Amino acid sequence: MKKKLHGILFVCVGLILNAPFSILNSAHAQVVPDSYRQQKQMEMSRFADSIHDEFVRYLEHLWTEYQLFQGELFPVDSKPVIQPQLDTLINDDTLKIDQLIQYGDLNTLQEAESQDFTLPATSVATPLQNYSVTFYGRMLNIAFPDKVADIKLSNIRERQVAHYWKKLLECHADQCVASLDQQRRNLYLNDWGFFDLIRHLATTVLPDRPNEQAVLSVFLLDALHYNARVGRMGDHLVMLVHTANHVYETPYVEIDNLRYYLFGNLPHKGRIYTYDRQMAHADRPVDLHLSYSPRLGGALSATAYKTTLGSHTVEFHVNQPLMDFYAGYPPTELAIYATAAMEEAFAAAIERQLRPLVKGQNEATALNTLLLFMQQGFAYQTDSRQFGREKNFFCEENFYYPANDCEDRAILFARIVKNLLGYEVVLLEYDDHVATAVNIPGSKAKGHHLDIQGKRFTVCDPTYIGASVGDLSRKYRHKKANVIAL
């Protein structure tokens, strides 16, 4: 009966916290007396406080041990160490084999729906201190209750964590979420960026106190409705975060059929303990989609990318703080990188630098020019050799690191074709390779192609040296690729 009561209470507070600040803020609020509104707000606040008190009491109970899984590897087989060259080169388009190839799954991507936050309302005023938080080249001022820094954990057992959580509630630490949310909007941060900002704030408020940082971060995530938990591993408290997307090479636990990933530079082996129940309102996963590029500091990278194609020189500088942000991004699904928004200045540079390469050319010639740029303009190296692990690139990263490989080129080529030529492009994902296929309006270019929902998509491979529109290596002509529609 007590477990059922907990569940009912958690659902009730979820309904309250997910509702607008008050139904009294609706269009009908003008006819409601202020005294009545204040009374209802006080009643709701007292009820929310009782639910939080119930959760604190629950935190005191013995936590459950969970199995820590050691992160999934990227679903990629071994790639060629040396950049491959197409096995059969036919420059005359009229002599090419015009072959329909089959494909497996068709993944049509949907943009992640943006959600506004329902920020916790409080009528309690508490002294705030402005903290200067350095966040990827930007200096941010965030107002935060000044008493939080004085709260300390004497140990990391359940009772002390519960006591610390209660003290955060008493200090009204959640009052800073409005300031955090404003920074999120100013910086155009996605969920991961917001999570990263919260970690930066916790580090600034509580320097050299990693256990308290973990609890404070989860407390703030909880206040913003994200599904996160505090975990305990040996002498460390850690953050366990549920994401909307698959994350690779990152340890995780499974609770109620949901994955919670362990983020942070901590030991990733050993026993892990956490509570097995969450407050109902904290059910929002961290979404890794980047529907808009973060607006971080404006410093350019120290070195520039530079290459020459014929008589045309292409030169790019990239945003260094953005590269630092991407460097800490969790390794995730290929589709996340393929659909991530480019930085506005970088997209403008693509247009300015590459438009002259294809100006006045017909469809097939323009595509072949861009294929040549991709095949010859970058050094090739597998991720395992360059980084010691698998790493997919966001588009801008191709112009920052010394080399790239097939999936990086396929994604960049697809985005360039969409931006410059306006054609529909799909990714062809094989076990050990990624290529592209382009819907060329009105074109009868011969070669290997796919029929996708009544549209002809002709293969274009930006990795194989010498491959032009329609060329596909013999290795893949009878293999089925998974198709990712961009």
Please list the alpha-helical segments (H only) found in 188-333.
191-205, 210-223, 320-327
Query: Which residue in 230, 274, 225, 324 sits closest to 13, CA to CA?
Result: 225
With a cut of 90, say whether residue 74 has pLDDT above it.
Answer: no
With cut-offs at 50, 70 and 90, classify the pLDDT of residue 40: very low
pTM higher than 0.75: yes
Token pair recorded at residue 97: 């084999």
pLDDT (mean) for 461-475: 93
Structural contact between residues 483 and 103, judged by C-beta atoms closer than 8 angstroms = yes
With cut-offs at 50, 70 and 90, classify the pLDDT of residue 415: very high
93-111+298-485: which CATH topology?
A: C8orf32 fold (3.10.620)
With a cut of 80, say whether residue 16 has pLDDT above it.
Answer: no
What are the C-alpha distances in Å from 161 to residues 108, 234, 254, 328?
44, 15, 22, 28
Residue-level pLDDT at 98 = 80
Residue-level pLDDT at 109 = 62
More reliable by pLDDT, 191 or 22: 191
Residue-level pLDDT at 381 = 95
pLDDT (mean) for 243-261: 95
More reliable by pLDDT, 11 or 356: 356
3-state DSSP assignment of residue 481:
strand
User: What does the radius of gyration of the chain's CA atoms come to, in whole angstroms?
Assistant: 26
Phi, psi (rounded to 5 degrees) for 432: -130, 20
Alpha-carbon distance of 426 to 452, in angstroms, equals 10
pLDDT (mean) for 266-277: 82
Lowest model confidence (mean pLDDT) among 46-60, 109-123, 371-385: 109-123
Residue-level pLDDT at 193 = 98
- Condensed to tens digits (0 to 9), the pLDDT of residues 453-462 reads 999 999 999 9
With a cut of 90, say whether residue 421 has pLDDT above it.
Answer: yes
Q: Is residue 11 classed exposed, middle or buried when 0-12, 13-18 and 19+ CB atoms within 10 A define those classes?
A: middle
With cut-offs at 50, 70 and 90, classify the pLDDT of residue 51: low
Q: What one-character-per-residue DSSP string does 295-332 give?
A: ----PBPSS-EEEEETTEEEEE--BHHHHHHHHTSPPB
Alpha-carbon distance of 275 to 418, in angstroms, equals 47
Q: What element of type H or E holds 175? A: none
Residue-level pLDDT at 19 = 43
- Condensed to tens digits (0 to 9), the pLDDT of residues 289-339 reads 999 999 998 899 999 999 999 889 999 999 999 999 999 999 999 999 999
pLDDT (mean) for 190-210: 96
More reliable by pLDDT, 271 or 393: 393
Structural contact between residues 254 and 69, judged by C-beta atoms closer than 8 angstroms = yes
With cut-offs at 50, 70 and 90, classify the pLDDT of residue 89: low
Query: Which residue in 410, 416, 393, 386 sits closest to 314, CA to CA?
Result: 416
Q: What one-character-per-residue DSSP string does 84-153 give?
A: PB-SS----GGGS---B--EEEEEE--PPPP----PPP------EEEEEEEETTEEEEEEEETTGGG---
With cut-offs at 50, 70 and 90, classify the pLDDT of residue 108: confident
With a cut of 70, say whether residue 6 has pLDDT above it.
Answer: no
With cut-offs at 50, 70 and 90, classify the pLDDT of residue 176: confident
Query: Which residue in 210, 278, 206, 269 sits closest to 241, CA to CA?
Result: 278
Alpha-carbon distance of 466 to 461, in angstroms, equals 9
Structural contact between residues 247 and 261, judged by C-beta atoms closer than 8 angstroms = yes
Domain(s) of CATH 3.10.620: residues in the chain: 93-111+298-485
What share of the chain in percent tops pLDDT 70? 83
What share of the chain in percent tops pLDDT 90? 65
Q: Which residues contact 105 (CB under 8 A, 6 or more apart)?
A: 482, 483
Question: Strands 379-380 and 312-316, how do they pair?
Answer: unpaired
Residue-level pLDDT at 221 = 95
With a cut of 90, say whether residue 253 has pLDDT above it.
Answer: yes
What are the residues facing 428 on neighbouring strands?
435, 483
Phi, psi (rounded to 5 degrees) for 358: -115, 5
Q: What element of type H or E holds 462? A: none
With a cut of 80, say whether residue 5 has pLDDT above it.
Answer: no
Phi, psi (rounded to 5 degrees) for 472: -140, 130
With cut-offs at 50, 70 and 90, classify the pLDDT of residue 3: very low
3-state DSSP assignment of residue 379:
strand
